[in-house]
Chain A
Amino acid sequence: MRCMKRDDIIHLAKLARIRLEENELVSLENELSSIVDYVGVVTEIAGEQGDEAPELGLRYNVFRKDKVTNQPDQYTKDILAEMPDTDGRYMKVKKILTIDE
């Protein structure tokens, strides 16, 4: 039994913003099904949420002074050089909104 259907994969790919080819859809349906099936065991071994003592001290906040540490333009040129498309000091992107005619 496959727990991941073709439509599920298409939906996930849309969420993950990856365009998939037909052959990828077919293999992912099999592979993700078997992996999701395998990891399902955590539900059994996790038990109930309530019996866990909170882990004090393991997570704590780390603060630092709100201070500028870079020189102006220290990295600007290098970062701009990595951008696929620029206009002066700006990054160029495709339009986000399309208006239906």
Chain B
Amino acid sequence: MDTIAALRTKFIEGNYTPVDALKGALAVIKEKDADIHAFLEVYEDAAEEAKEAAARFKTEGKDAPPLLGIPLAVKNNILVKGKRATAASKILENYKAVYSATIVDRLRAAGAIIIGATNLDEFAMGSSTENSAYGVTKNPFDTTRVPGGSSGGSAAAVTMGVVPAAIGTDTGGSLRQPASYCGLVGFKPTYGAVSRYGLIAMGSSLDQAGPLTHTVADAELLHTTMAGLDTKDATTIAPDTYPSFPSKKTYTFGVPRHFLKDGVDDDVLALFESHIKLLTSLGHKVTDVTLPLFEKGLAAYYIVMPAEVSSNLARFDGIRYGLSVPGDNLLDVYEKSRAVGFGAEAKRRILLGTHVLSSGYYDAYYGKAELVRRKMRRELTATFKDVDFILTPTTPTPAFKIGEQGDPLSMYRQDIFTVPVNLTGVPAITFPMGVVKRERVDLPVGVQYIAPHGGDSLLFAAGKSIYDKGRV
């Protein structure tokens, strides 16, 4: 599939229309999605929108809105009015969104056509899309492997060639890790840059929505379309909340060397070293940094996130909407509906969150984790005085096999490089740094650039000059 930019050029030339693009997308779904299972639902009314977009290109030409006629897929924890919003959970199996997320409204206002809803780990909780109540999504590079998660359906939809880009959410790496496993660009904005209104909340102090694309330029276009203050989300930030960072010709990258010692695959490390060589050959400076707290982020994350999960998921009780299992009294309805409606990982995190927030443990866990978070932010602020970006592999390994990560903790460790970014609220981008061979299949792996708060545009500038330029 083309990039958004390439599609737009074709649409303006007029020989290939949004109707053709949609037909092409549906053909790929028909051919491949029975096997890959990226989509939970395909929207039939997209055909009407594609026709309108094609007609508009005839009259508006290159003055048409920037995303006019571009087919997009959206993760199914993002509300689209009138469509089912399942969050890949049984408890929301038949729930129809009564309003649209702000980001959906903004994408549509820019002309985008949402062609369907993609699969995810239930309530975005997981790193493999194996936790979906509606079946696992497979990695298009190797269907015995996971696409990553939780935005695995969105990543697979782009990689298998249905759409030029898809939207997902990232609470601890859920955009960047699948981007790494599926050979895509993934972007997690500064916390507050993008409205969370209409996202099914997981960890409210961590969640951000973002794009999965083939190029950094496409990611920038989608992000800037979605971003900005929203009166419906009081945590959105103004353009001047953080200082702005002018783009430069060359940048300084900080590498937390000691963080790469344990648990990182040798082939991934070799790719990472060659990316460092690429950077220095392009005139950038690479230096060592130490981030002792950043390294321990995963432990703090598995306190803060479940605490927020247990609070956010308390609303699913079988009373106002979603699955309701009959019971003798109100409490019975609650307990039975939640027992049947939630999957194993959701239950684990709800109970863990209940534990860390319960009387007698709150100070020892949640209070300490929030303190660690503050110290991590301070550590980062100090580090960003010396470097423009922090550089890490996005994931410690390439895509793992479906069913390979048996126990929850080993699955959680897939996110060691991504969760500290959410805990501190800084932005990060990932793009492919190369491939490693596993069982004669080339599997992509991503490199992650982390910027200070408000450094979103700096990541795009660097990504375009380093990745997009080198891309054939």
Contact = CB atoms under 8 A, between A and B. Distances in A.
B113 to A, nearest CB: 23
Interface residues of A, number: 49
Interface string B396-421: 00000000000111001000000000
A36 interface: yes
Contact of A82 (B98, B318, B407): B98
A42 B95 CA distance: 38
A98 B338 CA distance: 21
A94 B371 contact: no
Contact of B98 (A41, A46, A78): A78
Contact of A45 (B296, B328, B412): B296
Which of A31, A55, A62 gathers most chain B CB within 10 Å?
Answer: A31
Contacts of A49: 367, 371
A95 interface: yes
Interface string B274-304: 0000000000000000001100100110110
A38 B368 contact: no
Given A35-B409, A75-B99, A46 B299 contact: no
A52 B371 contact: yes
Give the bracket for the number of chain B residues in contact with chain A.
35 or more
Interface stretch (B3-11, B45-53, B329-337): B329-337
Nearest to B358: A15
B319 A91 contact: yes
Contact of B321 (A8, A19, A55, A82): A82
Interface of A: 4, 8-9, 12-13, 15-21, 24, 27-28, 31-32, 34-36, 38-43, 45-47, 49, 52-53, 55, 62, 64, 75, 78-79, 81-85, 91, 93-96, 98
Interface of B: 95-96, 98-99, 231, 234, 292-293, 296, 299-300, 302-303, 310, 314, 317-322, 324, 327-336, 338-339, 342, 344, 347-348, 350-352, 354-356, 358, 364-365, 367-369, 371-372, 374-375, 377-378, 407-409, 412
